[in-house]
């Protein structure tokens, strides 16, 4: 049986749990830019960032030239500056120097990084986390009792996916 992670094994209600700021802007400014970009996305992780700014009463900014970058993230212009928001693949595509190894500890804890950047540099990394559905563990155990192998297929970060897969008891994880 092949299952997705977000909304199948996890609640599908990710939450923003931390911000690492590498810019001269405030955390609030960066999250406002990020949420404005993500407000145009359909991805569950985007919804977590949008929900966070709504809860904090933050402002959404006008985004022009919005574009979804399949499997990597989004881009758009805010106040005439082009921003990118997405995963480590997007940062690599932009040829930005960034220590992705620093993210590993948190991805090993089941958190998903969302990186905000311009074409020139990484501005921030926000971590988003989604809790496991309690019934997911029981469902996987029941499938194993029937001698059915389980596989999780997800676009999420490899470390995050393996962490969730291990917690739930999934036999094989295919990520990214």
Report angle CA 108, 113, 114 to the nearest 5 degrees.
170
Q: Say how many CA atoms lie within 13 Å of 53 toward its Cβ.
A: 23
For residue 49, which of 13, 24, 76 has the smallest C-alpha distance? 13
Can you give 47-105 as a three-state secondary structure string?
HHHHHHHHHHCCCCCCEEEEEEECCCEEEEEECCEEEEEECHHHHHHCCCCCCCHHHHH
Q: Active-site residue 130, yes or no?
A: no
What's the rounded Cα separation, in Å, for the pair 56 and 51?
9
Question: Other CB atoms closer than 10 Å to residue 82's CB: what's the count?
Answer: 15
3-state helix, strand, coil in the chain (%, to 5): 35, 30, 35
Asked if residues 82 and 33 have their Cβ atoms less than 8 Å apart, the reply is no
Q: Catalytic: which of 4, 27, 99, 156? A: 4
Give the active site residues: 4
């Amino acid at each position: 049986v092949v299952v997705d992670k977000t909304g199948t094994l996890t609640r599908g209600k990710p939450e923003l749990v931390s911000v690492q700021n590498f810019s001269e802007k405030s955390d609030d400014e960066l999250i406002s830019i990020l949420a404005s970009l993500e407000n145009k996305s359909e991805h569950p992780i985007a919804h977590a960032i949008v929900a966070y700014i709504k809860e904090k009463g933050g402002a959404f900014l006008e985004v022009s030239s919005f574009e979804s970058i399949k499997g990597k993230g989004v881009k758009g212009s805010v106040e005439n500056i082009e921003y990118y928001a997405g995963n480590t693949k997007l940062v690599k595509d932009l040829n930005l120097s960034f220590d992705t190894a620093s993210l590993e500890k948190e991805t090993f804890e089941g958190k998903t990084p969302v990186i905000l950047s311009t074409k020139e540099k990484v501005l921030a990394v926000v971590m988003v986390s989604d809790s496991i559905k309690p019934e997911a563990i029981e469902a996987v155990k029941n499938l194993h009792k029937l001698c059915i192998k389980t596989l999780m297929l997800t676009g999420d970060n490899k470390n995050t996916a393996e962490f969730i897969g291990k917690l739930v008891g999934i036999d094989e994880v295919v990520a990214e």
